[in-house]
Amino acid sequence: MHTLYFISVALHILAATIWIGGIAFLVLVVVPWLRSGSRVAAGVFLRETGLRFRNVGWTCFGVLIVTGTFNLWYRGVRPWHFIDPAWLRSSFGSAIALKLAVFAAVLGISVIHDFSVGPRATRALEQDPTGPEAARLRRQASLLGRANALLALALLVIAVAIVRGWPR
């Protein structure tokens, strides 16, 4: 069973790395590069890369949910712990609860970004790249993407706290 747990933790870290690395690449490389060129080309490029990364990202979310659930179970966490005030006040319990809450926020923001605002923004950029609707939707998509990037970093910090404890 320990070997399965080891594999699950490795897959969990790999999925998180791919997801966070993809966000970092988009935010730090792709978006600034696109801002320097044609808005029409940017719309097409964002649509194509967005669709591909959306598939990668949601696959990573699936892996994170399955491996995260297994990892918690292996470490003795059961559903009733989440209604136990003493467990939730513990360093480990509070870190787990916080990580799950932040991950739920990431999933919510991702749904809005990936299936509503993002696709509408890329369509607007393709139809009228300098129009007010394209600018408004581009700003919304950018804010959602940045929020998810910050939450991804928060998840990383919380994950370290789960394993190593909170700094004192």
- Span 104-115, pLDDT tens digits: 999 999 999 999
- Span 123-168, pLDDT tens digits: 887 888 888 998 899 899 989 999 999 999 999 999 999 999 888 8
* Radius of gyration, CA atoms only, the chain: 19
- Quickly list DSSP for the chain: -HHHHHHHHHHHHHHHHHHHHHHHHIIIIIHHHHHTS-HHHHHHHHHHHHHHHHHHHHHHHHHHHHHHHHHHHHTT--GGGGG-HHHHHSHHHHHHHHHHHHHHHHHHHHHHIIIIIHHHHHHHHHH-TTSHHHHHHHHHHHHHHHHHHHHHHHHHHHHHHHHH----
Q: 136: buried, middle or exposed (CB in 10 Å: 19+, 13-18, 0-12)?
A: middle
Contact 151, 27 (CB under 8 A): no
Residue 43 pLDDT > 70 = no
Check residue 114 and give its pLDDT: 93
Lookup: tokens for 92 = 């480990």
